[in-house]
Amino acid sequence: MDETSARLVKQPDAEKFSASRNLVIDIDPAFPWQLTALDGYGANLGLVQNHQWGVWSGNATLNAAAATFNRVDVRRPSLALAANSSTVNINELSAFTEKGLLEATASVSQLPQRQTKVSLNGRGVPMNVLQQWGWPALPISGDGNIQLTASGNIQADAPLKPTVNGQLHAVNADKQQVTQTMRAGVVSGAEVTQPQPAQ
């Protein structure tokens, strides 16, 4: 939905919202995604402000049986958010991957540049789980734990990657570790720390 449709909306607020067993698909080739059996509920949602679609106020919770994000399958994704005039706070975002669990929190500014901050933890997940979502391949393999903090500007008419700064720390089941830093979408740091030999 575009700005024109936003201008036509007579009642942009949803005092109560519920959804059950929905299929939602976006076929954008740059980042296709799909949510299967999506359930949700919300309250006092403000969806249009200054002729712009968004979540401008209120709270919502969404859960799905399964999802695919840029060809990565996850199970039981869930999200809880609360929005006000300055920020959309995603207080809970989680999903099970092929192996392990991803959990995250995030905040999105309501200002035009849409500055977004994300903190993500993965437990027992494949080391390449973030590769399809924009982080380059790690120099370690297998399963393990990851910690990611990142920020960037999510704007419809501007590329995201040049605005992204962040840090990723990963350790696999063999106790190999790597820490990488991203500045303006470019990653540095590929040195792998090996486990100390047993004494």
pTM for the complete prediction?
0.86
Please tell me which residue, 198 or 57, carries the higher pLDDT value.
57
Q: Determine the pLDDT at residue 198.
A: 59
Q: Determine the pLDDT at residue 199.
A: 58
**Maximum Cα–Cα distance across the chain:** 72
Q: Is the pLDDT of residue 24 over 90?
A: yes
Those residues with Cβ within 8 angstroms of residue 179's Cβ, 6 or more apart along the chain or in another chain: 167, 168, 169, 170, 189
Tens-place pLDDT, residues 66-102:
999 999 999 999 999 999 999 999 999 999 999 999 9
> Based on the number of CB atoms within 10 Å of its own CB, is 102 exposed (0-12), middle (13-18) or buried (19 or more)?
buried
Q: Is the pLDDT of residue 5 over 50?
A: no
% of the chain at pLDDT higher than 70: 91
Q: Determine the pLDDT at residue 54.
A: 87
Q: Is the pLDDT of residue 18 over 80?
A: yes
